[in-house]
Chains A and B, each alone.
Chain A
Amino acid sequence: MAITKDTIKYVAGLARIGMTGKELEHFTGQLDRILEYVHELKDLNVSGLEPTSHVMEMKNVYRADRVRPSLPVSEVLKNAPDKANNLFKVKKIIEKI
């Protein structure tokens, strides 16, 4: 099984989390133990069960195509770290325009 340090580094990268060498070491062991525990599920006999993505017995929940009021722009931008001209402002994403 064994989660490697590379796996932790990769997952941390996907989540945009920086880690020190010591943290990497720490979480590698920890996550490995967690997964091992979860893998106990593998011993269960599930041959008679349908694969399921939702635990509730509910389906086909729709809403009608009706417009409802949106938020005022002041509310929308209230928690924005930075803004300009009613737009959210973020660090530049593409290097060239």
Chain B
Amino acid sequence: MQYETVIGLEVHLQLKTKSKVFCGCSTNFGSPPNTQTCPVCLGFPGSLPVLNREALKLAAKVAIALDCQIAKKIRFDRKNYFYPDLPKAYQISQFGQPLSGKGYIMIFVHGSEKRITIRRVHLEEDTGKLFHKEDASFIDFNRSGMPLLEVVSEPDISSPDEAYAYLRSLKSILEYVDVSDCNMEEGSLRCDANISVRKAGSEKLGVKAEVKNMNSFKAVKAALYYEQLRQIELLDSGSRIVQETRLYDSVRNVTESMRSKEEAHDYRYFPEPDLVPFDLDPELVRGIGREIPELPGPRKKRFISDYGLSDYDAAIMVSDKALADYFERAVSLYKNPKVVANWLMGDVAACLRERGGAIGGLNLSPEDLTAMLKMIEAGLISGKIAKALLPEMIETGRDPGSLVKERGLQQISDEGIIEKAIVEVISENQKIVNDFKKGKDNAVMALVGKVMAKTRGKANPRKANEALRKKLK
């Protein structure tokens, strides 16, 4: 039987404000338990929430960046349920008049582009954090009342790979608009997935499972692969799928039924009487829109047309705003975009992988990188020396010119020195020399290699090649 998979993603994002969304408590991460709480975020009777203007502004910024229809009037609602992470027994959220209606994200999977519709974006408060032990559960309310943005996709996603691409695209946009730390491990970005399978071509949706507890994009992909297969196997064996919440276990790479004591949800939303309604003045919204930088989509198109990058290279360059900014700064100093891109994706990326961290934290300015590229172009150092030089530049933060001088790494174009090395190489490698003379032309490359080794990589390989051929004629 052929099946198709239907996935919808709910992403929760903590907005980067200094204080919580409805009270003045700090949003600092990692403080001792319950030290960032007050009567408002603890739900004490008589306390009243007041909306943090910055939280609404950051939320609107995301909605605009996702091309969402921003509402003119918004309102907050109470979402009622009993769970100890909510001291008030309701969460302040948005239901009837959320911040925005539909928008979209473009994703790229296996070489093709697909548009995923965003259903809505709304602002709400985060809940406290629970810790479950053998005999009891424990609560830290520091997270209670943190500004949380919910981005809900339509079930337009049809594979775990597409889900992964969606999250990457979304995260990239969020980083461009700079509204959140987007750190899944610290919980500032969380993702729940709804997944169902149905017979290929069928109109009717299958019974869905909600999958939670994934703490990386890779975990989301792995959990969805597992869940997709589990549902297909159930249907193939003639069993039924139960609608339920399942938790992903990353160690065993399985999803398991949560078997919560919670009953079926009935949230009984109603307007939050403690908060007044808000008008989003179109002029204000336009002003927020003007603060949004060029986003990865348009920037990629520009990189292709302005710098002649390939689709693939451009996609990598714009995926991280800091990298794209770095690239543009470097290209302004050294006008060979393709060479800059190759170094950034090759040796610089390798150094980053080895050391961890992002390009912004790297001890390598665009000025120093391009100075090195200019030295290669001028024949002052070989590409091979440059490759060895780069990690040292990053290690010490020093400019390439002074390092090359100090280490005596200048490329040797002095014909006398090259000549001396060639004579030695020829006498030491008679067999290769004979191969070459018998007509095996690329044997000369082996000899060039020996010359390079003798000069510790400093000989100009083009010059060595020419001189060798002349000598062996």
Contacts and interface: CB of A to CB of B under 8 A. Distances in A.
Interface string A64-86: 11111111010011000010111
B273 A54 contact: yes
Contact of A87 (B18, B34, B276): B34
A61 B19 contact: no
A76 B34 contact: yes
A19 B380 CA distance: 89
A88 B138 contact: yes
A20 interface: no
Nearest to B139: A88
Contacts of B26: 67, 70
Nearest to B130: A93
B35 A53 contact: no
A89 B138 CA distance: 5
A45 interface: no
Given A76-B42, A87-B34, A59 B278 contact: yes
Given A54-B271, A61-B50, A65-B18, A93 B261 contact: yes
Interface in B1-50: 17-19, 23-26, 32-39, 42, 50
Judged by DSSP, the binding face of A is loop
Interface string B264-278: 001010010101111
Judged by DSSP, the binding face of B is loop
B132 A60 contact: no
A97 B50 contact: no
A54 B276 contact: yes
Interface of A: 13-14, 16, 53-54, 56, 58-71, 73, 76-77, 82, 84-97
Interface of B: 17-19, 23-26, 32-39, 42, 50-56, 75, 80, 82-84, 130-141, 258-261, 263, 266, 268, 271, 273, 275-279
Given A65-B54, A88-B34, 4 more contacts: A65-B52, A67-B18, A77-B34, A87-B140
26 contacts: A53-B273, A54-B276, A61-B276, A62-B56, A66-B18, A67-B18, A69-B24, A70-B25, A70-B36, A71-B37, A85-B33, A86-B32, A87-B131, A87-B138, A87-B140, A88-B138, A88-B139, A89-B137, A89-B139, A90-B139, A92-B133, A92-B136, A92-B137, A94-B260, A95-B261, A96-B259
